[in-house]
Structure 1
């Protein structure tokens, strides 16, 4: 069940990230401004993040055996449209809007995996599932290369075929735990309940910093490396890929550590490390080796933090409410990665330096550590 859920998460995230690597190509083909290009790439991210809220609540009701195949099949439709039917900015924006559905499967897999594992093993299991976010790296490595090697539509055709194949396989293989708790009440009622729970807002803040930081660096690190260190785009992209791979690899480790220690302590350590390293990066030390080590350290810490946050979700949230809470927390994580690149760009444009941007990141991480050490620690202690 864990393998099937992780595969589904990775495949749908591969689909979700198809437009981002093609941003520069589409800008030339459609004669887009930099703002239009940014909006085109951002639409699936925003929709996928916000869409986790209702999808998580629906998963509490209908289960992953229904939701995983349904979302995979529905995602294949905009994938095919983008490969063959979209020929204008409006067409790509419409396709990108529905492509965002692929980014919602995180809210399906978390409650599903959570239900199959005992509390002492949930951290590692959820971390392994979370490593499926590496599907975005598959897209980054393959989309442009396949477009050049075969045809512009081939990456979309390939992903659509894999999505359909997975949907069929998942329908026959996936099974919800027989005694899983089915959520009662209406969709909106359960969402309202999740939003009113203090633990939801607290975990949302932590995930917005941990996962949002990962997303923000994945998006903006190439630009930063080119601007600050004069790297060519290919070199910057490869270094960013190393950042992504390390963060993804550390997510299961964060969950594993949380099974064996207090996830609150792990998160305090993670956010403290990010704060210190971000402050050091603000002074732009030489890229080799100091700068490289700083960014790899941030990647490892953020990846560990994403695993630890959802180990904490498994401890603090009742099984029948995990889907709804995961949807909200997952949405916060996705949106958390949307704003930092805008801030970094604005800071650089206004000051000609990234120093203030990194100082703000350090302050944000320090605030997350403080929140974890006080409010979240008390809540975790009360529920123990």
Structure 2
């Protein structure tokens, strides 16, 4: 076949895919909305952490464990959910995750009403199911776009993590205005309605083909790929850092700046932190499509390292502190978009869901340990979390070196 014929075949193939993928942006937006609700549920404990601490008489270690518990299951469960998405598709898995998480929200409400810390830990563990929703959306969104635009697609879907901002902003306000139990009942109702919406209107890409490979071999196959481990490490820093701060920031702000920040103010600042990351994520994906994910990852990690150092100095609460946290969130968002723009073109088509699940799990685990470390390294004498922040600087610096040594994912790189 001569060059002219090859170009014609390529153009015809692109035109065919374009026709089949009509309505792609609307589908990704609906998936993003579903993810937003899932993230809201996943993070429903953190905005009320001061209420739990006061009413249940919790110490630093117990608070850290309470905040970290949903993250653990949300992380590990993504491996399974990502692989199941390859087999059953996004429509079924989005619906399943949302409905399966409703009892967890109700259990959190029951634990709070009874004032039971052990039950709250169990509820938080179960609540992690909601956090697995991310592993559904990446392969779903990728299948709706051609390879050269998958960074954009996964970046848009990644904006669903604005659910952390929704939770941080609305949960404490709803609890104060309408009461603790009605707030959780409302969230459960919204999740149920969203699951129905997804089942009725969401559809899998016509180019998506279900994988019939058994779950365990599929996950093991993903673990044998080098790209899985490389991206898992980077994502543990960028997304793990985001989850850790989105979870722990209300606690951090009310502890370090007790005279300046109340729980609602801390929730507002945490919401702004999450919004900055959400806005930056699709930008990171789109820029990665244009200049390559390696460059964007390096910019992201350099920003995280430098800004974490400034946070570690505990500047006075005000404009500088707010700008530093927002800048750090934006750097993390750029990195999140870059990592999944790196995964798509570097992974065999039939393993995208499994690799996504493993990488997403690594990101979740990256968010599980920092709250525990922050609680363990808190220095009451100086009211400082400096040691924990120094560890972030160190790990981020290592990730910066590792990213610099990796091969880019751009064609011909």
When normalised by structure 1's length, the TM-score is 0.91
- The runs of 4+ residues in structure 1 deviating greater than 6 Å are none
Residues 138-177 of structure 1 aligned to structure 2 (within 5 Å):
138-177=166-205
Matched, 1:241 2:250: no
Q: Answer yes or no: is the 8 Å Cα contact 1:75–1:101 preserved in 2.
A: yes
- Which residue does the alignment assign to 1:191? 219
- Which residue does the alignment assign to 2:404? 373
Q: Answer yes or no: is the 8 Å Cα contact 2:75–2:131 preserved in 1.
A: yes
Matched, 1:126 2:154: yes
Per-residue displacement from partner, 1:220-268 (whole Å, max 9, x unpaired)?
3344444545533344443333222211111111111112111111111
Per-residue displacement from partner, 1:18-72 (whole Å, max 9, x unpaired)?
2222223233444444433332332221111111110111111111121111111
Listed as ranges, the gaps of 5+ residues in structure 2 are 1-26
Which of 332, 340, 345 is the aligned partner of 2:370?
Answer: 340
Closer/same/farther in 2, CA of residues 161 and 283 from structure 1, 3 Å limit: closer
Residues 35-114 of structure 1 aligned to structure 2 (within 5 Å):
35-84=61-110, 87=114, 88-114=116-142
Mean Cα deviation higher: 344-353 or 328-337:
344-353
Per-residue displacement from partner, 1:307-336 (whole Å, max 9, x unpaired)?
111111112112221111111111111111
Per-residue displacement from partner, 1:264-315 (whole Å, max 9, x unpaired)?
1111121122223333444444555544433332221111111111111112
Closer/same/farther in 2, CA of residues 102 and 246 from structure 1, 3 Å limit: same
Q: How many residues align?
A: 382
Mean Cα deviation higher: 219-228 or 56-65:
219-228
Distance 2:92 2:252 in 1: 42
Q: Answer yes or no: is the 8 Å Cα contact 1:316–1:383 preserved in 2.
A: no
Distance 1:348 1:302 in 2: 24
Q: Answer yes or no: is the 8 Å Cα contact 1:111–1:319 preserved in 2.
A: no
Distance 2:346 2:219 in 1: 17
- Report the CA distance between 1:106 and its aligned residue: 0.3
Which of 223, 229, 237 is the aligned partner of 1:201?
Answer: 229
- Which residue does the alignment assign to 2:51? 25
Listed as ranges, the gaps of 5+ residues in structure 1 are none
Higher CA-based Rg = 2
Q: Answer yes or no: is the 8 Å Cα contact 2:28–2:153 preserved in 1.
A: yes
Mean Cα deviation higher: 143-152 or 324-333:
143-152
Mean Cα deviation higher: 308-317 or 36-45:
36-45
Distance 2:89 2:232 in 1: 23
- Which residue does the alignment assign to 2:163? 135
Give the aligned CA root-mean-square deviation in angstroms: 2.4
